[in-house]
A and B are shown apart, each in its own frame.
Chain A
Amino acid sequence: MKSYYSKEALEHFLNPKNMGVIENPDAIGKVGNPICGDQMEIYIKVEKKDGQEIIKDIKFKTLGCAAAIATSDMICELAKGKTLEEAVGIKYQDIVNGLGDLPPVKIHCSFLANNGLKEAVKDYHERNGKK
């Protein structure tokens, strides 16, 4: 049957594994979508290991459409276990690919999720005295 969303996107919307908040997070990325008004918050917990800063835990809180929720969950999945540097390098296309695909009008949701993570990393650096 034809479905508006891909099977993978639906799965991440219906059963997001990374929803919720982290108590005492090391950083938060708050973003809003000016186009449709979606709101997203990305919480991260960072672990320092062998001189590297690794995203040990990541969760999200999103008010938005199915695509906004699915992309939030996907960015968390992609970023978990990565160094901050690697995480910042994730592209919106990686999110879209991870979800199989997204309807064209929903691609902008992946920008939002991507920016949410970048904002969280920026917040982390600010809290830790880096630029």
Chain B
Amino acid sequence: MQVYFDNAATTAVDKNVLKKMLPYFTEKYGNPSSIHYLGQEALEAVDESKEIISKFLNCRAEEVFFTSSATESNNLAIKGVLEGLDFKPHIITSLIEHPSVIEVCKYLEKEGKAEVSYIKPNTEGIIGLESIKKEIKNNTVLISIMYANNEIGTIQDIKNIGSLIKELNIDRKNKILFHTDAVQAGAYLNCDIKELGVDLLTLSGHKIYGPKGVSVLFIKEGIKIKPIIYGGGQEMGLRSGTYNIPSIVGMGAAIEEIKKNKDKIEDIKKLRDYLIKEIEKNIPLVSLNGSREQRLPNNINFNFKGVEGESVVISLNQEGIMASSGSACASKKLKASGVLLAIGIRQEEAHGSLRISLGRETTKKEIDYFLKVLPNIIKRLRAISGFK
């Protein structure tokens, strides 16, 4: 049995999405910058995709920008709004952001281009309003807080943070912009930018059953932002580079599918809760990482005492189950997950983490198979480590 429990890493492309993409490889292959028929046909596809996405975000189509990846979108959102300021700006972000936010901030800090405050979440992984408020300075220009965390699935109260910023901005000379990385949230949560009160929002194609190599950055009209890539002037000069039409079409189609699959979210949540309950019942000395309530419907993240996460992942893989771990050994950098450390988990314990991320196609049968296999793996690895 092959079971894919790593949907937070990437999802399969939905079959309906793929179908809509295919003609744009071999038949409708024009470059939207060309003024002839094939070019204009491709341009129309870009516009249609923007139209669909703008409805999903409740924004205008002109506020939707395509980039190559969520990493690029996050880089553009942060670097782009800082360019051209005549003072040293201050950014507020959190310790549990994706590397495509944290690493940009670290770079800007190192280069002396910005001051940065990294907010520590509470032990549930929630970033409190008060902790944001405390960090605000006169030169604060950007707050970037992710909507839902990729490792522990914690959902932040973006709406309340948005309201707070709006309130603060009334009396401020330097208005604060609010960016949220909604990559993990896209398939599951409300992304209405007006309700959330965000100025910038990042979505990724391949986390929402669309293709890889495409991302959306919503940029509210009127925001001063400079490009980070220069060239042919596509996307109103903000993102040069030939449009990746098949993927852009796929991005729109994936957004359409989210609507159609809304009913499945409740089912995924039930499967998640069943899995959590059974693991807590059947395996001793486990603890759930991240909030139980404010959590993505598809995310499960456990710590198992006396085992190391990478060896759990490898053992599961032998049984056909694909999952991931935040342990140092499972990472390229051989560092324990910064997210787990930020929620107060000790280095030794972050070692024993396992992330299961369910998807639209997950069945109860798959979960039951996993529940049958996992206890023996933990038992075996605890025997090897001598853990009693």
Contacts and interface: CB of A to CB of B under 8 A. Distances in A.
B318 interface: yes
Given A4-B314, A63-B308, 6 more contacts: A19-B384, A38-B308, A62-B385, A63-B384, A64-B385, A65-B327
Contacts of A66: 310-311, 314-315
B384 A65 contact: no
A61 B327 CA distance: 19
Contacts of B315: 14, 66
Given A35-B328, A37-B328, A63 B387 contact: yes
Contact of B385 (A36, A37, A61): A61
Contacts of B307: 63
A14 B348 CA distance: 23
A63 to B, nearest CB: 4
Which one of B310, B315, B336 has the greatest number of beta carbons of chain A within 10 Å? B310
Interface of B: 306-308, 310-311, 314-315, 318, 327-330, 332, 334, 336, 347-348, 351, 383-387
A73 to B, nearest CB: 9
Residues of A contacting B: mostly: mixed
A125 B386 CA distance: 25
B308 A64 contact: yes
A65 B385 contact: no
B329 to A, nearest CB: 4
Given A37-B328, A68-B308, A61 B334 contact: no
A63 B329 CA distance: 11
A69 B308 CA distance: 10
B385 A63 contact: yes
29 contacts: A10-B314, A13-B311, A13-B314, A14-B315, A14-B318, A21-B386, A37-B328, A38-B308, A38-B329, A41-B386, A61-B384, A61-B386, A62-B384, A63-B306, A63-B307, A63-B351, A63-B386, A63-B387, A64-B308, A64-B311, A64-B385, A65-B308, A65-B314, A65-B329, A65-B330, A66-B311, A67-B329, A69-B384, A105-B332
Nearest to B310: A65
Contacts of A69: 311, 384
B329 A64 contact: yes
Contacts of B347: 37
Closest 3 CB pairs of A and B: A65-B329, A63-B385, A65-B310
Contacts of B318: 10, 14
A35 B333 CA distance: 10
A5 interface: yes
A37 B336 contact: yes
A36 B334 contact: yes
Interface in A35-67: 35-39, 41, 61-67
A34 to B, nearest CB: 10
A16 interface: yes
A117 B387 CA distance: 21
Nearest to B307: A63
Contacts of A10: 314, 318
Contacts of B383: 19
A10 B383 CA distance: 17
Given A14-B315, A37-B347, A41-B386, A105 B334 contact: yes
Contact of A35 (B327, B330, B334, B348): B334
A10 B319 CA distance: 13
Contacts of A38: 308, 329
B224 to A, nearest CB: 42
- Which of B329, B386, B387 is most buried by chain A, counting CB atoms within 10 A of its CB? B329
